[in-house]
Structure 1
Amino acid sequence: MLLKRHRSNENETVKRHRRSSEELLPHDVVGLILERLPVKSLLRFKSVSKKWKSTIESRCFQEQQFLRRRQSRGPDVLCVSIGDDDNNNNGYDEAPMNTVSLGSSIVSRVRLPTSNYILCPGSCDGLLCVYCVFTPSVVVNPATRWHQSFPLCNLQQFRIDMYDKGEYDYPNPKLGFGKDKFTSTYKPVWLYNSTEFGLENVTTCEVFDFSTNAWRYVLPASPYRINDVNFPVYFDGSLYWLTLCEETKLLSFDLHTETFQVICKAPFTPASDIFSHSNRIMCILDNRLCVSENNGATQVIWSLDSSGLNKIWKILCSIDFTKTVSWFGDKPLFPVKPVEILDDDKLLVGQHGYLVLHDLHAKSYDLLVDRETTLGYPVSCFQSLFSVLPNSIICTDELL
């Protein structure tokens, strides 16, 4: 009885201390302090009070916290493993790979709680999108462990029907995932060449609307056939594909206006066959749209400079495979995966279970993670509190 009374007095003391601490500072000042904290701390502090919980869960606070996070340090690198693991943290697993610090960034591992096995490249506001043909796709925030599934699109259902009929020779388009930066609305997008599926248009575009939980067609779709060997990438409010024109072009899909536009020609020579298309990948490095091309002994990474009136491709760097042969193999058949530029001069690349750090100035290479460690799919990611919120609007007033 005395023990229960003692614990009750302790709880009352803690509550009084919390109330007195909250009263010491105006709530707008508390909000400014909270903005500077990491996501894991903010998740714990939601239990301090209803007011703190309401603040941390507000969209305006989450936008401001994410902005400060991007300004204060570099992106982290998540080595993403995908699969079911109900016995371990509800499917999330940050072991066995130890975290590695690279300047202001951290490399760590996470397992996503889904049976889907294809990850959209890159992240959008800290959110990852995972999909496959036969099951609903999933959007995941690995920092908060929030996730939400969304249903199959018409393309996926069509492929399932073909599979059930014993027809296995069909293309493999890739899902894109990004955000309308004016309304802060997240949108999964399928763009695929129509003729391979017996459709009349050049291409077909499907966009998912989280507010209605339904897919819809976008008309007109792209007037050019796309290279569906490569993944689309998201950058600054648009998704990007490479085309299958005689001269390869860079195609954009504005996620606000939902219109397609050819931005410019690609920096490399036209592809002669499907193997040439697989030698190229798009990526986002240091907040720039890039295209990487395997040229045999080297891999050239091009960066798009769109600061002036004309968009110009510039060579960002080259990876010399003669210096990485022990890790990637002699003249890899496919490009290694550029992950991110860290601390302005270190390019992180991955392939076959290896992570290699390329010093852009010294032209040297260091092995960061080898294949003996369970690596997963490396992706650059700024941690956030975001989830998919239909019709959310970015707050432009003061935070609190």
Structure 2
Amino acid sequence: MLRRHNASVNFSVVGNHEVLICDGLLCLCSLYEQSASVVVNPATRWHRSFPLSNVQHLIIEKNNKSEVAYPLPRLGFGKDKVTGTYKPVYLYNSFEFKLDNVTTCEVFDFRTNAWRYVVPSSPYRILGHYEPVYLDGSLYYLTKEETEVLPFSFPAETSFEVKLLSLDLHTETFQVICKAPFVQPHSSDLYSITMCILDDRLCVSEKNWPNQEIWSFDGANKTWTVMCSIDLTESVSLFEERSFARSSIAQPSIALVDKNKLLLRGNDYFHTLFIYDLHTKSFDLLFKPPKPVGPVYYFESLFHV
């Protein structure tokens, strides 16, 4: 259920699901159920459903067979700035699904009400642990290119190079933008990294307890600068499940308010929302849902597909 004051829109999303946001539109899809995906505007109560992608059918088939060794591709959702068309996108590594090529890309076309493949797809395998982010007509991903197996490591560890990858939603072409040298090249815990959009700029967070650094990308110069470094020690008291604050999982950034207040979403079951003041370096609890139901934070609009 999505709620705005005393108005609500009901739809069926059972079990694990994803919610993507663009221009105040929420795109929801279920990972294991046959129920259709839906795009909804909570402000106007407008909504439209669309069918499952090919990879969703593959996941449901594997789940029904009780298979466990397969990835869960993350949905992307953004807008073609030239035509104004909104596009749900699945980009995933092909090998795990016994498909050809390095990756496979599916885009949903609301005009034909059908999914179609984008060819060629990304030439690099992607880090599929998190959803891509949308900015200014493109979806952004991080790629993982393995370089070598580290000697004398047990269990065996692989060194890899991480790059920033974009998908232009108008031309539907991929482009490797630059390397991301700040990501630990030998790190085995990829959940310590998360992408976000802050102040209309692409940002990446990297958590290494007790600190979390947020890097901002300058698209014109293709350079990264440290936006801030957060000491998460003081945030522990905001969580009932305190192990989450100390875990290696990065706290996703939601928005930058008044240039000096950072909204962060906790990695606990409740997705607790708290504020970090960049000047005073202090934390304040903003909102904690009464139940672990997966709250969604968005800015209202009057857009529709």
TM class, shorter-length: 0.7 to 0.9
Task: Output the CA distance in 2 between the equivalents of 1:181 and 1:223.
Answer: 24
For the residue of structure 2 that corresponds to 1:313, the secondary structure is: strand
Contact 1:271 1:277 (8 Å CA) reproduced: no
User: Gaps spanning 5+ residues in structure 1: where?
Assistant: 1-82, 84-91, 97-108, 389-400
Task: Output the CA distance in 2 between the equivalents of 1:297 and 1:270.
Answer: 16
The AA in structure 2 aligned to 1:115 is V
Contact 2:90 2:107 (8 Å CA) reproduced: yes
The aligned counterpart of 1:130 is 28
294-303 vs 350-359, greater mean Cα deviation: 350-359
Task: Output the CA distance in 2 between the equivalents of 1:113 and 1:247.
Answer: 41
Please list, as runs of the form range in 1=range in 2, the aligned pairs for 1:30-179 lying within 5 A after superposition: 83=1, 92-94=2-4, 113-116=11-14, 117-121=16-20, 123-133=21-31, 134=33, 135-179=35-79
Contact 1:120 1:231 (8 Å CA) reproduced: no
For the residue of structure 1 that corresponds to 2:107, the secondary structure is: strand
- Residues paired across the two proteins, number: 281
Structure 1 residues 250, 341: closer, same or farther in 2, change over 3 A? Answer: same
1:110 offset after TM fit, Å? 7.4
Structure 1 residues 110, 322: closer, same or farther in 2, change over 3 A? Answer: farther
Is 1:384 matched with 2:301?
yes
1:273 offset after TM fit, Å? 5.3
Structure of larger gyration radius: 1
1:373 offset after TM fit, Å? 7.0
The AA in structure 1 aligned to 2:144 is L
TM-score (norm 2): 0.85
1:386 offset after TM fit, Å? 1.4
The aligned counterpart of 1:363 is 281
TM-score (norm 1): 0.66
User: Gaps spanning 5+ residues in structure 2: where?
Assistant: 146-159
Contact 1:190 1:207 (8 Å CA) reproduced: yes
Contact 1:340 1:347 (8 Å CA) reproduced: yes
The AA in structure 2 aligned to 1:118 is H
Match of 2:235 among 312, 324, 327: 324
For the residue of structure 1 that corresponds to 2:62, the secondary structure is: helix
Task: Output the CA distance in 2 between the equivalents of 1:298 and 1:161.
Answer: 41
1:345 offset after TM fit, Å? 1.1
Q: Compare relative contact order (CA 8 Å, sep 6+) and give the higher one, 1 or 2.
A: 1
Structure 1 residues 142, 94: closer, same or farther in 2, change over 3 A? Answer: closer
The aligned counterpart of 1:78 is none
CA RMSD of superposed structures (Å)? 2.2
CA offsets per residue over residues 103-131 of structure 1, 9 Å max, x none? Answer: xxxxxx9776342553344x212111111
The AA in structure 1 aligned to 2:196 is C
The aligned counterpart of 2:167 is 253
Structure 1 residues 110, 344: closer, same or farther in 2, change over 3 A? Answer: farther
Q: Which of the pair is proportionally richer in strand?
A: 2
The AA in structure 1 aligned to 2:109 is D
